[in-house]
Structure 1
Amino acid sequence: MIKVSVVMPTYNRADLVGRAVESVLNQTFHDFELIVVDDGSSDSTRDVLNKYNEDKRFRYIFQENQGQSVARNKAIELASGMYLAFLDSDNYWPLDRLEKSVPCIESLGMDYALVYGDGYSVDLDEKIIGSSDRKGHPDSCLYDLLLNNFVGMNAVLVRTEQVKALGAFDETMRSGEDYDLWLRVAIEHKFKFIPEKLCYYLVEGDRVSNNFEGVMANNERSIERVFQHMDSPINERKKRNIWSRFFNRKGRYFSQNRQKTSAMRCYLRALSYTPLSFNVWRSILALVK
């Protein structure tokens, strides 16, 4: 059985997908397959990818455009690896990414479903312009995860059986679908942090993840779904803190974009959950200055 199935959706990324593919095929860890699902590209993506067909670890699938959740789920359906790793076609991995991830998850018990690491942000010239530095989250991390998504999609290694048991990604979501899946996994399983930079994330204007309002709408759905789960361990006090943090963060986004009415509406919603929150009152004072 193959150890790792690498899942890569792509759409009109002919200029970048080759870099992503080669960062996988050149890994120092060799026991993997790479499944690329082309979500209906109309550029030369197919031509770029055809040159990798001779590599037995590489598999290319074309589908009509249905969104990245459907594309990822198609690859997961075909996956034969014990573990799943994800790489978007505009990002790329350091060459020891899998070598650092696989031994970690294999050292853990089955109560651990997922390991994750940090990453660098890069520009189009591959210059590092930022990084994530996650620390301090417990292995039983559902509450922390409900407060904020700290698990980067492209720095994850997760047990295939757990993902398939949960139905994989929600195909009705065009953004925020990774957070939704991590929450569902975290209800019953632990996560382990790897203190390493495991991905390079490209920062540019047309990324799906830049659709903040769509992401937040789907995040709200995902959080509510956890609260409705019969086995959710989240009590009422924690729920109020989670919603307050959520609407305060949403309000700050509107404030930064000079949408003061929408921002105030979010801040008041946050206060309805935690009337004495210093952070929310600070956001309101910053808005009315």
Structure 2
Amino acid sequence: MRLDINTVKGEKRLFVGGNLITISSVIINMVSVIIPTYNREHLIQESIYSVLNQTYKDLELIIVDDGSTDNTEDIVRAIPDPRIQYYKLPHSGRNAISKNFAIRRSTGTLIAFNDSDDTWVNTKLEKQVELLAQHPNIGFSITDATNYRTGQIISTRTYAVQQGIEYANIFNRMKENRFVVYNPTILMRRSCLDITGLFDETMPYGAEFHFNILLAFYFDAGIIYEPLLWRLIHGSNDSIQTPVENLEGFMNTFEYLYNNNMVSKKYLNKAKSHAYRQIGHLFKQAGNGNAAHHNYRQSLKYNLLQPICYWLLLKTYRPDQLSPAGN
């Protein structure tokens, strides 16, 4: 079948078998790359150029600034590339709002996400676009990632598999907490949004995991077992508020999955047990023994078969494990 694309007066016209189909709002083969940002003047330029320097050039880059108070805007506007669109919104503190704003203004048939502190290997999009083009039954593609702190690589790989490509539904692995998906590795078909919907803007934290697991529930993935994302891990001295709220968002997602008959009560309980245990660890590391004790008890409430959790719970009874505020 003959397929030709012509542009007439700025309008895409697709000829399939000699028949004319006009496409006014969605541009065929273009990737819409979305970067939300907030006060990342020291990092965002590297992230932007890692997108602009991709070997796959047919892209638009939509940057949504969540009301930065630093020089982020000046840095973005100084980059002379017509593929960049920059929008500045009032500060909300919710990436979901920024991402949905960008999605609504995007024009590509493929959508990718990056974070303003992460960078891509320059062949990332090319490899993923080719994969999706060759496998029309797959909804999205993900890749492996390298995790690092400034000047130090923490892990060169995320997945145990070292090479190759896998085509699979990864939902069961995700619901069992055996598989992580980093949102900046995703390249997805725009049509997936007709099923998943947009990001949940009611979730202050955890909206990315919520979106990722819905995507995995409804669509098969093409997994490229090659680290094509450099993911920056911030200092361990940061407030524990964000990781705790992310874990609370994780539990809220499993409540949603359970209420919509997507997982059984067994997996809801496993998710809650895991999240409360991790929250307990965070409070223990912060020296708040009472909060750690409470969360370890909550973890055991949802899964009694955790010998290590009993041991951790007993340790919170020791005076040297309790914070002064908890006495």
Shorter-chain TM-score: what band? 0.7 to 0.9
Name the residue aligned to 1:252: 281
Instruction: Tell me which of the two structures has the higher relative contact order, counting C-alpha pairs closer than 8 angstroms and 6 or more residues apart.
Output: 1
Q: Which residue does 2:83 correspond to in 1?
A: 57
Partner of 1:214: 245
Is it true that 1:134 corresponds to 2:133 in the alignment?
A: no
Determine helix, strand or coil for the equivalent of 1:15: coil
Structure-2 separation of matches of 1:81 and 1:210: 36
Which whole-Å deviations, capped at 9, do the CAs of 1:14-37 have from their partners, x for residues lacking one? 222111111111111112111111
Q: Residues 97 and 259 of structure 1: is their aligned pair in 2 closer, same or farther, counting only changes over 3 Å?
A: same
Decide whether aligned partners of structure 1 residues 79 and 237 sit closer, same or farther in structure 2, where only a CA change above 3 A counts: same
- 8 Å CA contact 2:183–2:212 kept in 1: the answer is no
Aligned equivalent of 2:229: 199
Deviations 1:221-266 (A, max 9, x none): 1111111114x1x233333333322322222222232322222322
Q: 1:271 aligns with which of 300, 311, 314?
A: 300
Query: 1:150 maps to what in 2?
Result: 180
Equivalence for 2:106: 79
Identity of paired residues, percent?
27
Structure 1 residues 17 and 219: CA distance shift in structure 2, 3 A: same
**Structure 1 contact 38–63 (Cα < 8 Å) conserved:** yes
How is 1:90-239 mapped onto 2 (pairs within 5 angstroms)? 90-110=117-137, 112-125=138-151, 127-135=152-160, 139-148=168-177, 150-163=180-193, 165-205=195-235, 211-230=242-261, 232=262, 234-239=263-268
Kept in 1: contact 2:195–2:218 (CA 8 A): no
Which letter maps to 2:233? V
Runs of 5+ unmatched residues, structure 2: 1-27, 319-327
SS of the residue 1:3 aligns to? strand
Taking the aligned partners of 1:224 and 1:241, their CA distance within structure 2 comes to 12
Map Cα deviations across residues 145-164 of structure 1 (whole Å, 9 max, x no partner). Answer: 13436001111112222235
Q: Summarize the Cα distance change of 1:138–1:161 in structure 2 as closer, same or farther, 3 Å threshold.
A: closer
Check the 8 A contact 1:147/1:245 in 2, yes or no.
no
In structure 2, do the counterparts of structure 1 residues 113 and 282 end up closer, same or farther at CA, with 3 Å as the change threshold? farther
Per the alignment, in what secondary structure is the counterpart of residue 182 of structure 1? helix
For residue 283 of structure 1, report the CA deviation from its aligned partner. Answer: 4.1
Query: What TM-score, normalized to structure 2?
Result: 0.77
Whether the 8 Å CA contact 1:37–1:63 is kept in 2: the answer is yes
Distance in 1 (CA, whole Å) between partners of 2:150 and 2:273 is 36
- What's the C-alpha RMSD, in Å, of the aligned pairs? 2.7
C-alpha distance after superposition, 1:86-132 (max 9, x if no partner): 1111211111111222222333343x32221221223345x534334
Distance of aligned partners of 1:84 and 1:169 in 2 relative to their CA distance in 1, 3 Å threshold: same
Q: 1:8 to 1:207 in 2, by over 3 A?
A: farther
Aligned equivalents of 2:296, 2:230: Cα separation in 1? 34
Give distance in 1, aligned partners of 2:167 and 2:276: 24
Q: 1:78 to 1:199 in 2, by over 3 A?
A: same
Among candidates 25, 44, 47, match of residue 20 of structure 1: 47
Segments of 5+ residues of structure 1 without an aligned counterpart are: none
Aligned partner of residue 42 in structure 1, secondary structure:
coil
Partner of 2:325: none
Distance 2:250 2:285 in 1: 20
Q: Structure 1 residues 82 and 207 mapped into 2: Cα distance closer, same or farther (>3 Å)?
A: farther
Structure number with greater Rg is: 2
TM-score normalized by the length of structure 1: 0.86
CA distance in 2, matches of 1:274, 1:55: 53
8 Å CA contact retained: 1:183, 1:226: no
Aligned-partner Cα distance in 1 for 2:229–2:311: 34
Distance 2:87 2:53 in 1: 21
Report the Cα distance in structure 2 between the residues aligned to 1:145 and 1:80, rounded to whole angstroms. Answer: 30
In structure 2, the residue corresponding to 1:122 is in which secondary structure?
Answer: strand
